Amino acid sequence: MDGRIPSSERDSMDSLVVGLAANAHITVQSLEALLAAEFDQSDISQGGYVAPIELQKSHPVDIQGEDVVDMELALSRPGIRAMKPVDSAQASSTPYHSSSQSSDVLPDLQGRSRSGSLVDPVTPTWPEQSESGTLVAQSALGAESPDPLAGVDEEDPSPPSKSPPRAAAARKLVKLLGEEAPRHVLEKYNADSKPWYLRQNYDPSQILIDPDGAVRAGAPAALIERLTAHEYMDPTFNQNFLLTFKSFLTVDELFDLLVSRFSIEAPDGLAPAESDEWKKMKQKIIQARVLNIFKTMVTEDGILEKEDMGILGRLKEFASREDVANSAAKRLLIFIERAQRGEYATVKISPAPLSPPPPVLPRSCKKLKLLDIEPVEIARQLTLMEFAMYKKIRPMECLLRSKETKPGRNSDNFSSIIQLSNKIAHWVAETVLEKEDPRERANIIKHFISTAENYSSMAAIVSGLVRQPIRRLRRTWERVNARYMTQLRDCESTLDTNKNFNNYRSTLARIAPPCVPFIGVYLTTLTFIHDGAEDKLAGMINFRKRQKAAEVIQDIKRWQSKPYNLQAVASVLSFLEECVGKYSDGVDYADQFWNLSLEREPREREDEKMARLLQESGFL
């Protein structure tokens, strides 16, 4: 066959030689890798891996081989892009001779095959790769979505599964351990087996991966590479990255890094076939991933803030570039334009399908008093007030909150919730104290106890009722019957600080949205994340720390996503706003409430108390 190389391809002889050399090198590497794999396997068979694998049980491995399943793709195109499991890849592969004879395979490929058969006849890796590559390309074509706006991801070709030398080790590991095979070990086997030009670009020292496969730390460029990796997709990492990148990169810096990632250039010395493979298996995928990240940034709530919208202009410019323009970029342009018109900012949660329960309206519409309004309706309207505030919390505020330097100076959405909470507590306390008659005070207390519905107002109301000036009103509490006391005690124990709000956390874990959580717990967690871990690890971004913060942010977002199916009642809302509006956050009401409390129920000695009790019972 060598003698029949067309003359037109003589020019590429030089690169062919380079390619051959590279192939020989790869083969040597493959052999070494095989050897290493054998060692690893013998370790496994001796049980050497049992302990670390035990630790990984919570991370089910992707049995389809080296590719982390692309969830977006998998969900949007069920069944079409079936990836071959590692096991079947070997079986279904065509022998390379037939594949090279039946198609116009470039001479470089033949050279590779030959070198493979010369040096390493046992591992005919190449034909399998080209074979499965073709399969995926076809299925990707067949999957073209009819809806041009269905998503940029439609064109996201994922790398086909391959059966590289070390994959044998990975296969064996999967066979041995099934779904429990540690993903990072598999990834490493598979990654090491790739041709050099298809591997990651970053230096392995630029990233630290934890045993569970999550990123512990990394240099920004390495993190960006992982965000847009051609070899796998890690949706959790991507989500965490996008929620927290602002703590180590500006939006413009991220944009620049992503653009330069898009403009990735082929390494020097690639033969034409290698170059083709590089384009198909690496460049195209990376570029599609970059466009996808941009799409996510533009369309998803909570990533770009109002002040970040300037990036849309740059993004538009980028998506219109000649070397970028393709159908995905065109769709991205449409998304950008929508974002520029503010469409995503105004897209709100869809209203509940059911009609809200009818409000319990107060009988008189004149000047409202607390006891005129049913507790359930006060609870509902308070909930609406609080949910409206809670819904506004932005991921960025969570990051800022945790590194706040000047307390009390910032007026973010957290502050307004805290202020409302403090004001409700003041209002509760003073409303009780205002009443001169202990029976009336007890009625107010009972009314408020019945009002504690969502966790945010529950915290405020309980805090108002159990503060010392109220707690000490013995003659009042004597008139609050057991039913209410039990209810109050339940609230108290729900919000008990013990074991880091253990009760509260487990209660919250049991319920489904809607709910307004008590944000104090989130704030403490964010503070601990911030103070408890360094921003950098060994000079790299401590991504574990960002991951932790992202988990809190997602928890907060979870309760934001579902609105209450309740009807606002203007008269009650304005009554409540007026009541809590009397208090200002900076003022310390403690002394005022103490004095009022002592006035209502003065301290008394035992004899004084006896005298009062006798008098009250009509004995004297």
Nearer to another protein, 53 or 442 (CB): 442
Q: What is the DSSP code string of 345-405?
A: HH--PPPPSSPPPPP---S--SS--GGGS-HHHHHHHHHHHHHHHHHT--HHHHHHHTT--
For residue 409, give every residue at least 6 positions away whose Cβ sits within 8 Å of its Cβ, in sequence order, or none.
none
Nearer to another protein, 56 or 100 (CB): 56
**Locate tokens 């296969």: which residue?**
171
Burial 349-358 (b: 16+ CB within 10 A, else e): eeeeeeeeee
For residue 209, give every residue at least 6 positions away whose Cβ sits within 8 Å of its Cβ, in sequence order, or none.
184, 215, 216
Member of 2, 265, 307, 588 binding another protein (CB under 8 A): 588
Which of 177-185, 344-352, 387-395, 528-536 is the region at the interface with another protein (rule: CB under 8 A)?
528-536
Q: Which of 40, 128, 44, 137 is nearest to 88 (CA)?
A: 128
Span 530-549, contacts to another protein by CB under 8 A: 531-533, 544-545, 548
DSSP 467: S
Asked if 249 is part of the footprint of another protein (rule: CB under 8 A), the reply reads: no
Q: Which of 467, 419, 409 is nearest to 596 (CA)?
A: 467
- Shortest Å distance, C-beta 598 to another protein: 7
- Shortest Å distance, C-beta 203 to another protein: 22
Going from the C-alpha of 201 to that of each of 40, 204, 214, 255, 400, the distances in angstroms are 26, 9, 19, 19, 33
Nearer to another protein, 26 or 488 (CB): 488
Q: How many residues belong to the site for another protein (CB under 8 A)?
A: 61
Nearer to another protein, 255 or 484 (CB): 484
3-state secondary structure 435-459: CCCHHHHHHHHHHHHHHCCCHHHHH
Asked if 209 is part of the footprint of another protein (rule: CB under 8 A), the reply reads: no
CB 518 within 8 A of CB 545: no
Q: Which of 228, 215, 225, 235 is nearest to 74 (CA)?
A: 235
H-type alpha helices, 541-601: 543-560, 570-581, 590-600
Member of 399, 463, 541, 569 binding another protein (CB under 8 A): 463
Q: Which of 439, 450, 437, 442 is nearest to 470 (CA)?
A: 442
Asked if 483 is part of the footprint of another protein (rule: CB under 8 A), the reply reads: no
Which of 158-166, 432-440, 515-523, 573-581 is the region at the interface with another protein (rule: CB under 8 A)?
515-523
Span 378-407, contacts to another protein by CB under 8 A: 404-407
**Locate tokens 């100076």: which residue?**
409
Asked if 465 is part of the footprint of another protein (rule: CB under 8 A), the reply reads: yes
Phi and psi dihedrals of 459, rounded to 5? -60, -40
Member of 88, 493, 561, 615 binding another protein (CB under 8 A): 493
Nearer to another protein, 228 or 525 (CB): 525
Which of 82-90, 158-166, 288-296, 527-535 is the region at the interface with another protein (rule: CB under 8 A)?
527-535
Asked if 594 is part of the footprint of another protein (rule: CB under 8 A), the reply reads: yes
DSSP 320: T
CA 245, chain centre distance (Å): 12
Asked if 525 is part of the footprint of another protein (rule: CB under 8 A), the reply reads: yes
Nearer to another protein, 268 or 534 (CB): 534
Asked if 617 is part of the footprint of another protein (rule: CB under 8 A), the reply reads: no
Q: Which of 63, 260, 24 is nearest to 167 (CA)?
A: 63
Member of 486, 497, 506, 615 binding another protein (CB under 8 A): 497
Nearer to another protein, 262 or 501 (CB): 501
Asked if 188 is part of the footprint of another protein (rule: CB under 8 A), the reply reads: no
Asked if 477 is part of the footprint of another protein (rule: CB under 8 A), the reply reads: yes
Which of 28-36, 179-187, 387-395, 524-532 is the region at the interface with another protein (rule: CB under 8 A)?
524-532
Nearer to another protein, 258 or 480 (CB): 480
Asked if 590 is part of the footprint of another protein (rule: CB under 8 A), the reply reads: yes
For residue 612, give every residue at least 6 positions away whose Cβ sits within 8 Å of its Cβ, in sequence order, or none.
604
CB 143 within 8 A of CB 58: no
Cα angle at 205 between 200 and 206, to 5 degrees? 70
Q: Which of 430, 387, 406 is nearest to 587 (CA)?
A: 430
Nearer to another protein, 283 or 415 (CB): 415
Asked if 555 is part of the footprint of another protein (rule: CB under 8 A), the reply reads: no
Asked if 605 is part of the footprint of another protein (rule: CB under 8 A), the reply reads: no
Asked if 460 is part of the footprint of another protein (rule: CB under 8 A), the reply reads: yes
Nearer to another protein, 14 or 212 (CB): 212
Phi and psi dihedrals of 576, rounded to 5? -65, -40
DSSP 280: I
Which of 7-15, 97-105, 249-257, 605-613 is the region at the interface with another protein (rule: CB under 8 A)?
605-613
| Gap between the Cα atoms of 454 and 141, Å rounded | 51
Member of 209, 466, 573, 611 binding another protein (CB under 8 A): 466
Asked if 492 is part of the footprint of another protein (rule: CB under 8 A), the reply reads: yes
- Shortest Å distance, C-beta 556 to another protein: 13
Nearer to another protein, 32 or 608 (CB): 608
- Shortest Å distance, C-beta 507 to another protein: 15
Asked if 468 is part of the footprint of another protein (rule: CB under 8 A), the reply reads: yes
From residue 413 to residue 452, the character string flagging contacts with another protein as x (rule: CB under 8 A) and all else as - is --x--x--xx--x---------------------------
Give me the residues paired with residue 218 across strands: 207, 541
Member of 207, 222, 227, 495 binding another protein (CB under 8 A): 495
| Gap between the Cα atoms of 620 and 610, Å rounded | 11
| Gap between the Cα atoms of 588 and 99, Å rounded | 83
Going from the C-alpha of 608 to that of each of 598, 605, 611, 615, the distances in angstroms are 15, 5, 5, 10
- Shortest Å distance, C-beta 443 to another protein: 16
Asked if 474 is part of the footprint of another protein (rule: CB under 8 A), the reply reads: yes
Asked if 472 is part of the footprint of another protein (rule: CB under 8 A), the reply reads: yes
Which residues would be at the binding site for another protein (CB under 8 A)? 404-408, 415, 418, 421-422, 425, 459-460, 463-468, 470-472, 474, 477-478, 485, 488-489, 492-493, 495-501, 520, 522-529, 531-533, 544-545, 548, 588, 590-591, 594-595, 598, 603, 606, 609, 613
